[in-house]
């Protein structure tokens, strides 16, 4: 990623929002990045195309997994000042509550930073951060 290389050359943290905008699937999902102090949070406004169950309507389980995986990758890239994206090895998603038709947020932390592999935990919430709608545990190969 040219954006990541440029940020590394300039000795600054990469612009995570611009990075996500450059990833077509993240742009399709409508994912944005916010940085407050030392915390990176992703935001995904509700959109009709994100729906899996039209009766409720509920956000598709795959969209929930996508936001969580994106949060895990973004946190890894941001903390490691990576020049490329880590590759997912395995992920486990726990679905805790229905994803309703409203803005969703996600954040991640690196539970274990190894030399080649990171173990990342991520969570996703909507109007109440104390009531997560889903959580992810996963391993990612560092670039």
Partner 1 sequence: MSDPSEIWRQSLAMGMGRTPFVNGLDGEVVEVRAGWAKMRLPYSDKIVGNPDTGVAHGGVITGFLDQCCGMAVGSALREPASFATLDLRIDYMKPARPGADLLFEGECVKVTHEIAFARARAYQDSIDDPVAIATGTFMFTSTGGAGMPAKMV
DSSP for 91-141 reads EEEEE-S---SS-EEEEEEEEEE-SSEEEEEEEEESS-TTS-SEEEEEEEE
Q: Which of 92, 102, 103, 113 binds partner 1 (CB under 8 A)?
A: 92
Tell me how far, at minimum, the Cβ of 27 lies from partner 1, in Å: 9
Residue 67 binds to partner 1 (criterion: CB under 8 A): yes
Tell me how far, at minimum, the Cβ of 94 lies from partner 1, in Å: 5
Question: In the stretch 100-129, what mask flags binding to partner 1 with x, by CB under 8 A?
Answer: ------------------------------
Residue 61 binds to partner 1 (criterion: CB under 8 A): yes
Q: Which is nearer to partner 1, 38 or 74 (CB)?
A: 74
Q: Which of 36, 38, 90, 115 binds partner 1 (CB under 8 A)?
A: 90
Strands 58-59, 51-53: pairing is antiparallel
DSSP for 54-104 reads TTTTEE-HHHHHHHHHHHHHHHHHHHHT-SSPPEEEEEEEEE-S---SS-E
**Tokens 């889903």 sit on residue:** 134
d(CA 93, CA 39): 22
23-42 residues in contact with partner 1 (CB under 8 A) are 23-26, 28-29
Residues found near partner 1 in the complex (CB under 8 A):
1, 22-26, 28-29, 48-54, 60-63, 65-67, 69-70, 84-85, 87-95, 98
């Amino acid at each position: 990623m040219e954006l990541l290389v440029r940020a590394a050359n300039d000795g600054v943290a990469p612009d995570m929002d611009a990075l996500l905008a450059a990833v077509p699937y993240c742009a399709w999902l409508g994912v944005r990045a916010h940085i407050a102090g030392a915390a990176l949070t992703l935001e995904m406004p509700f959109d009709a195309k994100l729906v899996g169950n039209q009766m409720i309507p509920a956000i598709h389980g795959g969209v929930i997994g996508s936001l969580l995986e994106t949060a895990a990758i973004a946190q890894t890239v941001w903390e490691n000042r990576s020049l490329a994206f880590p590759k997912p090895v395995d992920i486990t998603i726990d679905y805790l509550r229905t994803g309703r038709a409203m803005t969703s947020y996600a954040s991640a932390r690196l539970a274990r930073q190894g030399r080649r592999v990171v173990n990342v935990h991520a969570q996703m919430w909507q109007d109440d951060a104390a009531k997560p709608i889903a959580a992810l545990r996963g391993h990612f190969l560092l670039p």
